[in-house]
């Protein structure tokens, strides 16, 4: 195993299991741990400087997000991106975030809108600086804020956990030219609808925006065919 994981970042605060989970999830989503790759509990334990116990607990959690597949007595593998998993993740994300943005449109106060617009302005800055990682974080921040405005913070946390496969695509597709500007424009549309307290418009704008990610899927697939599940030969 390469030094791809932020090894020896231990001895910080917090439970080891949570740190292992965060490290592994980030490595998988960023494709530092390539889809299809085999993971060994022993190897990970040695690498991260903990025992197998917290490693196992983190892997169990990743398994529920379908980011790894655990085959007893055989091995643990980073799942390949599959058509079905992406579709499911998209479905869940749309359902939760669209429901949330309706609530946000009904409840948003002036200072909430100010905060949302501030995030968009920071996205502009990140785009100009071509800081993709920062853009990615701000994108999450905006969607997170929209979810929280619904009064149901669980919408974001659940959506976040369900969209592991989507995040891998999102992460890989950001550098496309013009993509960022379009995303910012769509963010403005959504926030504008929320500002107008128009749930229907907000939901539709967000749904359209969320489906943007899928449009980049074929390009990603062409670029990294080995990251994907073998296609059904119909």
Partner DNA sequence: AACGGGCTTCTTGTATGCAAGTATCCAAGA
Partner DNA sequence: TCTTGGATACTTGCATACAAGAAGCCCGTT
CA–CA distance, 95 with 98 (Å, rounded to integer): 6
Nearest to 70 by CA among 57, 83, 84: 57
Question: Considering the rule CB under 8 A, would residue 181 count as an interface residue with a second copy?
Answer: no
Site for DNA in 2-31 (CB under 7 A): 15-17
Supply the minimum distance, in Å, between the C-beta of residue 231 and DNA.
23
Q: Of residues 11, 12, 73, 111, which one binds DNA by CB under 7 A?
A: 73
Q: Of residues 8, 9, 42, 154, which one binds DNA by CB under 7 A?
A: 42
- How would you classify residue 115: left for phi > 0, otherwise alpha for psi between -120 and 50, otherwise beta? alpha
- How would you classify residue 31: left for phi > 0, otherwise alpha for psi between -120 and 50, otherwise beta? left
Supply the minimum distance, in Å, between the C-beta of residue 15 and DNA.
4
3-state SS, residue 44 = helix
Question: Which one of the spans 66-74, 130-138, 144-152, 160-168 is the region binding DNA (CB under 7 A)?
Answer: 66-74
Nearest to 35 by CA among 216, 219, 167, 215: 167
Two tokens, residue 180: 């960022």
Q: Which does 181 bind (CB under 5 to 8 A by kind): DNA, a second copy, none?
A: none
Question: Which one of the spans 49-57, 135-143, 160-168, 226-234 is the region binding DNA (CB under 7 A)?
Answer: 49-57
Residue numbers of the site for a second copy (CB under 8 A)? 15, 56-57, 60-61, 64, 72, 87-88, 91-92, 94-96, 98-100, 150-155, 158, 162
């Amino acid at each position: 195993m390469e030094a791809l994981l932020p090894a020896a970042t231990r001895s910080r605060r917090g439970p080891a299991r949570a740190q292992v989970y965060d490290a592994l999830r980030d490595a998988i989503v960023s494709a530092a741990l390539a889809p299809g790759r085999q993971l060994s509990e022993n190897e990970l334990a040695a690498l991260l400087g903990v025992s197998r116990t917290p490693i196992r607990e983190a892997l169990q959690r990743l398994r529920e997000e379908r980011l790894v597949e655990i085959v007893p007595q055989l091995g643990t593998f980073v799942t390949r991106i599959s058509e079905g998993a992406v579709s499911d993740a998209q479905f869940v994300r749309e359902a939760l975030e669209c429901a949330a943005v309706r609530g946000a449109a009904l409840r948003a106060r002036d200072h909430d809108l100010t905060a949302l617009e501030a995030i968009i302005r920071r996205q502009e800055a990140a785009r100009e600086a071509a800081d993709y990682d920062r853009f990615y974080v701000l994108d999450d921040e905006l969607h997170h804020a929209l979810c929280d405005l619904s009064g149901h913070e669980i919408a974001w946390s659940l959506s976040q956990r369900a969209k592991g496969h989507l995040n891998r695509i999102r992460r890989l597709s950001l550098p496309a030219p013009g993509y960022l500007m379009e995303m910012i424009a769509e963010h403005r549309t959504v926030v504008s609808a929320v500002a107008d307290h128009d749930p229907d418009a907000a939901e539709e704008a967000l749904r359209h925006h969320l489906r943007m990610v899928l449009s980049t899927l074929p390009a990603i697939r062409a670029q990294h065919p080995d990251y994907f599940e073998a296609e059904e030969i119909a």
